[in-house]
Structure 1
Amino acid sequence: MSTTVEATRSTLTRLTPGILVASAGTVAALLATRLTGLSSMLVAIVLGAIVANVGALPEAAAPGIALVGKRILRIGVALLGLQLVVGDILGLGAGMVAVIVCVVVVGIGATMIMGRWLGIGLTQRLLIACGFSICGAAAVAAADGVIDADESEAASAVGLVVLFGTLMIPLVPLAGHLFGMEDHEIGLWAGGSIHEVAQVVAAGGAVGGAALTVAVLVKLGRIMLLAPVLAVISLWMRRRTDITMASARSSRPPIVPLFVVSFLALAVVRSAGVVPTGVVDGVHTVQTVALTMAMFALGCGVRVAALRRGGVRPLVLAALSTIVVAATALAGVTLLAPA
């Protein structure tokens, strides 16, 4: 018994510094959000990157930061399912639902192919593909939970999501108006092409209320595809592991990660209309805090020196992926979306 107690105490001692640092970063990000209106998750990523790159992150914080970046992130992603109502997304119409599916499938497929041409490794390609095609940093981190990529690859993908998604905020509304699109169509395009939920909200809000509503619904539709995409990736990685490491069965990824199952289950429960509004609001607060905390931890892994060492190829792939996703969404909105 005493051995167990000592082990528990040792683990807590090892993890506490990092958890405290991440908690402080989360509080700072939430306060900044209240003052500025910016997304707490985006603020947290930037704060984490600043802390890490100015040398203010103590070495003792590393284990706790790593825990937050994986475990707390999975909790936040799972809780995200409770924000999804399938009926609202289906209400966009069959054409727009088809567009959402095409954006995710074409975005991931094209990014994987272009990444191979550029000589980028499999895991980094998968992280960029999921982040840019589905829901930004949360998708990067969720995919990392399935494929277990290097920390530097996940941090690089998150940094690229922040960079290119932020650039899309003014570009999509501006281009939409230049193309002569209605506000409703610009909102559909923003939801189908921009990486982060917060970035979609910013772009849709800049156009107007009608654009904002449909932009968020389309983005939620892309988020809904996170679970099936992760399940497919997990099965694929498991098969690769069976082929290349048949003797190391313990190293195989799970068929479907628990947090993915939880995400789907909560989405089903919410769509059934049995969850009181107060509970949904309360869980949304917990989810926001969890994802903000996880994004701070991921931001701590964004090292400028490591990004420089990674070269220009991930940056090129991120730019190409952004173009493919935006072009696919634009074509779909123009051809298939209801007027």
Structure 2
Amino acid sequence: MVQFSPAQTLPARLTRRGGDVLPGVLLTGGIALISTGIGTVVPVLGSAVPAIVIGVLLSLVRGRMLERDESGTGFARLDGRLQPGIQYSGKFLLQLAVVLLGAQLSLTSIAEVGLESLPVMLTTLAVCLVAAWALGRMLRIEGRLTTLIGVGTGICGASAIAAVAPVIGAVGAEVAYAVSTIFLFNILAVILFPLLGHALNLDPHTFGLLTGTAVNDTSSVVAAASVYSTAALGFAVVVKLVRTLMIIPISIGLSVIEAWKHDDGKPMNAKRIAKLVPWFLIGFLIVAVVNSTGIIPDGPRDVLVQASVFLIAMALAGIGLSTDIPALRRAGLRPLLLGAILWILVTTTALLTIWATQGLG
């Protein structure tokens, strides 16, 4: 009789694994709950930024406590219990959150936006990525951090950073810096974009297209469009959500580039490329397609969307807790300068493309 020992031991292994990760997951879940509360009170903050900030602050405290625990017992033992769950949150839960992000999209929404926003999206994304590559080299910024800031600015902020980080093997400090940089310019956008729209006398539809293209996180898009006019809000959010689709080709492209680097330039074929597609991107696409059929009722779909937001908060809390603080200090202000230049470039490119394709106003 054939014995399937792996299958027989699976329940025990899953139980053991669950016990290993539970303490750290409870910690990141608690931070996510607090950050969600903060985001509810101050919607423009969202939950992602408070989660990573709290995580980084606790990481500072953790470092001090470990330094004092010279015997390697007490706090060090507790820290050892927490680490598996913290790492699990920063990796697997991050990938699961990306899968659930697909519940925000539907082919109907994409059709509604249509070809109108596509030239603006593709042009701004191309300009942003090329500029990020060139400026990152010029400013001597580490490649992974440059990539995270580039995709965060060009696609959709924390969601894009969350999707790309595991693909390129980004470390906690790089993710923390990139998320913080994107957040800073999102806050500026909420303040400045309505002023810019009124100065250019943009109609609500055009302002919605500009905001959905050049502002990243959904909370900031909602805030900026709401300040301008209620009529601008709906279209801005749809444009922003459709931008999320750009995560798929960019992540696949980065996967191919990473594999090519580590395989000494071996030629790529369709089979090898297919194997490089991260499982969570396939899941993201499947959820989006299923949502497009309309078989997911509004209630469960809203739960999936909220779950993705909460899981991103948990993941970023885990990343914050694992952040190498000295590495953040060593990065200095150059990545912030890169983010500022890219933000201005994306906004300018969006305005010029809208003007060239349909006129302003």
Shorter-chain TM-score category?
Answer: 0.7 to 0.9
- The whole-number CA distance in structure 2 between the counterparts of 1:72 and 1:52 is 19
* CA positional deviation for 1:6: 8.3
Instruction: Give identity over the alignment, percent.
Output: 32
Please identify, of 125-134 and 173-182, the stretch whose mean Cα deviation from structure 2 is larger.
173-182
* CA positional deviation for 1:17: 2.8
Aligned to 1:21: 27
1:225 is paired with a residue of what secondary structure?
helix
Matched, 1:42 2:38: no
2:151 is paired with a residue of what secondary structure?
helix
What amino acid is the match of 1:82? Answer: A
Matched, 1:89 2:96: no
* CA positional deviation for 1:230: 0.6
Aligned to 2:231: 210
From the superposition, tell whether residues 203 and 303 of structure 1 become closer, same or farther in structure 2 (CA, over 3 Å).
Answer: farther
- The whole-number CA distance in structure 1 between the counterparts of 2:39 and 2:194 is 23
Aligned to 2:83: 62
Spell out, residue by residue over 1:65-87, the C-alpha distance to the aligned partner (whole angstroms, 9 max, x if none): 22101111111111111210223
Matched, 1:176 2:197: yes
1:123 is paired with a residue of what secondary structure?
helix
Aligned to 1:146: 167
Aligned to 1:134: 155
Question: Would you say the 8 A contact 2:52–2:176 is kept in 1?
Answer: no
Alignment of 1:139-288 (within 5 A): 139-243=160-264, 254-288=275-309
Question: Would you say the 8 A contact 1:69–1:297 is kept in 2?
Answer: yes
What amino acid is the match of 1:49? Answer: V
1:229 is paired with a residue of what secondary structure?
helix
- The whole-number CA distance in structure 2 between the counterparts of 1:8 and 1:265 is 26
Matched, 1:329 2:335: no
What amino acid is the match of 2:238? Answer: L
2:157 is paired with a residue of what secondary structure?
helix
Aligned to 2:39: 33
Question: Would you say the 8 A contact 1:78–1:263 is kept in 2?
Answer: yes
TM-score (norm 2): 0.83
Q: What's the Cα RMSD here?
A: 2.8
- The whole-number CA distance in structure 2 between the counterparts of 1:186 and 1:78 is 30
- The whole-number CA distance in structure 2 between the counterparts of 1:106 and 1:6 is 51
Structure 2: gaps of 5 or more residues:
66-74, 268-272
- The whole-number CA distance in structure 2 between the counterparts of 1:130 and 1:173 is 24
* CA positional deviation for 1:151: 2.4
TM-score (norm 1): 0.88
Please identify, of 328-337 and 22-31, the stretch whose mean Cα deviation from structure 2 is larger.
328-337
1:243 is paired with a residue of what secondary structure?
coil
From the superposition, tell whether residues 163 and 335 of structure 1 become closer, same or farther in structure 2 (CA, over 3 Å).
Answer: same
- The whole-number CA distance in structure 1 between the counterparts of 2:245 and 2:261 is 26
- The whole-number CA distance in structure 2 between the counterparts of 1:42 and 1:121 is 22
2:103 is paired with a residue of what secondary structure?
helix
- The whole-number CA distance in structure 2 between the counterparts of 1:118 and 1:97 is 31
What amino acid is the match of 2:26? Answer: L
Aligned to 1:249: none
Larger Rg: 2
Alignment of 1:282-297 (within 5 A): 282-297=303-318
Question: Would you say the 8 A contact 1:189–1:330 is kept in 2?
Answer: yes
- The whole-number CA distance in structure 2 between the counterparts of 1:189 and 1:62 is 42
From the superposition, tell whether residues 302 and 161 of structure 1 become closer, same or farther in structure 2 (CA, over 3 Å).
Answer: farther
Spell out, residue by residue over 1:239-281, the C-alpha distance to the aligned partner (whole angstroms, 9 max, x if none): 22211699xxxxx995100000111111122223332223212
- The whole-number CA distance in structure 2 between the counterparts of 1:333 and 1:310 is 35
- The whole-number CA distance in structure 2 between the counterparts of 1:7 and 1:276 is 35
Aligned residues: 334
- The whole-number CA distance in structure 2 between the counterparts of 1:273 and 1:13 is 38
Please identify, of 128-137 and 14-23, the stretch whose mean Cα deviation from structure 2 is larger.
14-23
- The whole-number CA distance in structure 2 between the counterparts of 1:65 and 1:217 is 33
From the superposition, tell whether residues 253 and 237 of structure 1 become closer, same or farther in structure 2 (CA, over 3 Å).
Answer: farther
Aligned to 1:122: 143
